[in-house]
Amino acid sequence: MRTLPTRTTVGIVGGGPAGLLLARLLHRAGVDCVVLESRDRAYVEQRQRAGILEQGTVDALRACGAADRLDREGLVHDGVELRWDRRGHRIDFPSLTGGRKVWVYAQTEVVKDLIALQLADGAPLLFEAQVTAVTGADTGRPVVHYRHEGVERTLECDYVVGCDGFHGVVRQAIPDGELRTFERVYPYSWFGILADVPPSCDELIYAHSPRGFALHSMRSPTVSRLYLQVPNGTDPAAWTDEQIWDELEARFAIDGDWKLERGPITQKAVLPMRSFVTEPMRWGRVLLAGDAAHIVPPTGAKGLNLAASDVIVLARAFTALARTGSTAELDAYSDTCLRRVWRAEHFSWFMTTTLHTAPGQSEFDTRLQLSQLDRIASSPHAAAELAENYAGLPVF
């Protein structure tokens, strides 16, 4: 029977991209850590989430040796296309941002790469380790309580980092009244599909339509990922494949010879949309990162990238603590990250409210949306603002 660690410097709860990237960065810096993930490996590696990586996220993956397959198989995108009023306009990222771009590389693949590295030569990574509580958050030695292989266990830590998502246990360890939360729930959802058909575009298409928003993305040169705005509570089974393709075609329509390619739909899911921020992102020896601290609507492609920027800041702070004994960067963690979080929240809100049609929306509000899209198409300054935020602002 293998001996499991009972003591570590940084206990990381959650083996998604945030927790795994943090563990990898800490391992490369020589900082001791342990990752506890409640699900099994197969589940974690198949969790479908984001697929757009900012320049800064790619740079971090390269720096920790986790980008070999990304560099071989990832799709580099230099821009996106906006569509409205049956016309399209391309936003060129490199020319507007000093050379920055984005990559299409699914979260499932990022996670697979990080898991393989972690199991090969990284810090301990335990699957099916169900964390039940975190105690002593306000002391010098918080303790993570978890169940693994039918046995109740504990992990004593100098610090605990919650990368366990919106419904995770770690945020619950912080007493009531110590956190403020800010939230917005949107009056529509995304109906997402995966289809075994080559993408009908070279770069993502964001479409504003009187019928509602639509997005054309991709997972690979042979798999398309597409989304439709739908009412909250929509049942995916109520839509036939033909209805889905017809609706997508109507919302992407432009004057010209562009054609939406159709193919077998392999997956359907409806995704509710919300904005959520917790302040602060630290209490005592407990720190929050990724979805445990903030959620954005997916329109701006910020979720995974915000999580990555959180743990990049955290890794720097823990490295500075190990090398110099100074807690200054760790003490500044929440304020440092929240500046970028709120910027990403605003951008995601802007993209969402500019491109979606709200239930009962007035013609006045629609005219404002169209005016904003016209402004982006006609002003390099407005286009640059969109491009800089989409390609990713620097990590502080």
**Which residues are part of the catalytic machinery?**
77, 206, 298, 302, 390
CA distance 198 to 162: 38
Instruction: State how far the Cα of 211 lies from the Cα of 208, in Å rounded to an integer.
Output: 8
Q: How far apart, in whole angstroms, are the C-alpha atoms of residue 60 and residue 364?
A: 44
- Give CA–CA dist 44/19, Å, rounded: 12
Is the separation of the CB atoms in 277 and 341 below 8 Å? yes
CA distance 242 to 103: 30
Preceding omega of 17 cis (within 30 degrees of 0):
no
Measure the CA–CA gap between 21 and 110, rounded to whole angstroms.
Answer: 9
Asked if residue 33 lies in contact with residue 10, where contact means CB atoms within 8 angstroms, the answer is yes
Q: Which of 125, 108, 107, 144 is nearest to 24 (CA)?
A: 125
